[in-house]
Amino acid sequence: MSDAAQPTAAEVRAAAEAVKTALDRHLAAVERRSGDEDPAVYEAFNQLAAAAEAYDELLYDRYDEVTPFEIPGDDSLPPYTGPEEPNAISVLIRRDYAVAEPQRLLAQAQRVEAADSDAVLGTAEGASGTVHGAIGILFGEFEPDEIASRHKEFGLEEGDSTLWVTAADEPADPGDWLDAPFEHVDPERVVCRFDVSAVFDEEDDFNAPLDDDLDEDEDEDLDEDDFNAPLDDEDLEPLEANDR
């Protein structure tokens, strides 16, 4: 960054003061909170995070320094503000897959197409010969939940998935949202959310304690004398030149 674009020392100082102010407001909101999901605490939290992030950026731009604080991403849901007794709910689901075995996918689609060429409305004859055509056939033939439970049979590999349940005052009119099913989701009306990701599994594996019983059976078979026994010259083979 050029000197002309660098923030001034006064701007950095002002950002630091903003963090102090936001910290006081957050503590005050926590002390006065009315419950576990008090919107005032949520707002104060976001203000503190924004102030800390702004200060961190200015500090780095001006002095090439960073703070020891990790600014969390805004990936949490806000407090629920929907109806206490919803008259309707919407279930939003996204599942990601990798096409791990295209030939298996094509073979499954060809079986479906051979059994009933009209299984998928509007599918041209021989569509199972392409990967995207095969995908259309299989998802037209099987329910998404069945594909999720049998994904390996279809040559698919599971990726991340998420399920959101949102509350509504009244059911939507037929056909009302079909063109953009996920466009107008109100986070404050999400009743519950369930995420599945390989990231969570990796974190669990990284933090898992070592198994003290690992190879315990093998260790029990080893005698202390076995470690201290001298090597028999007859058991040693001379190294060839290419083995060194």
Whether residues 127 and 7 share a domain: the answer is no
Q: What percent of the chain has pLDDT over 70?
A: 73
Q: Using CA atoms, how far apart are residues 41 and 88, in angstroms rounded to an integer?
A: 29
Domain with 192 in it: 77-97+157-209
Are residues 147 and 107 both part of a single domain? yes
Residue 149: predicted pLDDT: 94
| pLDDT at residue 239, rounded to an integer | 39
pLDDT given at position 153: 95
Q: Are both 201 and 88 inside the same structural domain? A: yes
Report which of residues 230 and 57 the model is more confident about.
57
What was the pLDDT predicted at 14? 96
Domain identity same for 88 and 167 = yes
Exposed / middle / buried, residue 135 (Cβ in 10 Å: 0-12, 13-18, 19+): buried
Strands 88-99 and 190-196: unpaired
Residue 224, domain member (yes or no)? no
220 lies in some domain: no
Kindly calculate the radius of gyration of the chain based on its CA atoms and give it in whole angstroms.
30
Residue 20 pLDDT: 95
Q: How far apart are CA 222 and CA 69, in angstroms?
A: 50
11 and 58 part of one domain = yes
Between CA 207 and CA 119 the distance in angstroms is: 48
Residue 71: predicted pLDDT = 62
Q: Which of 35, 66, 41, 36 is nearest to 52 (CA)?
A: 66
pLDDT digits 0-9 by tens, 14-42: 999 999 999 999 999 999 988 877 888 88
- Give the model confidence (pLDDT) of 187-242 as tens digits: 889 999 898 988 776 655 545 555 555 444 444 454 555 445 554 544 444 434 44
- pLDDT > 80? residue 101: yes
On whether the pTM is more than 0.85, the answer is no
Give pLDDT, residue 124. Answer: 44
Average pLDDT over residues 40-59: 90
Domain-located, residue 242: no
Is residue 85 situated within a structural domain?
yes
- Kindly state the percentage of the chain with pLDDT values over 90: 47
Inside any domain, residue 134: yes
Residue 226 lies in a domain: no
| 150 and 161 together in one domain | no
Higher pLDDT, 187 or 150: 150
Token duo for residue 157: 């590999």
- pLDDT value at position 69? 78
Section 141-164 average pLDDT? 94
What's the confidence (pLDDT) of residue 42? 85
Is residue 241 included in any domain, yes or no? no
> Are 16 and 59 part of one and the same domain?
yes
Half-sphere exposure of 24 (CA within 13 A, CB side): 5
pLDDT of residue 37: 77
Domain count for the chain? 3
107-to-21, 113, 158 alpha-carbon distances in Å: 64, 10, 19
Of the given ranges (131-135, 168-172, 229-233), which has the lowest mean pLDDT? 229-233
The average pLDDT across 41-57 equals 90
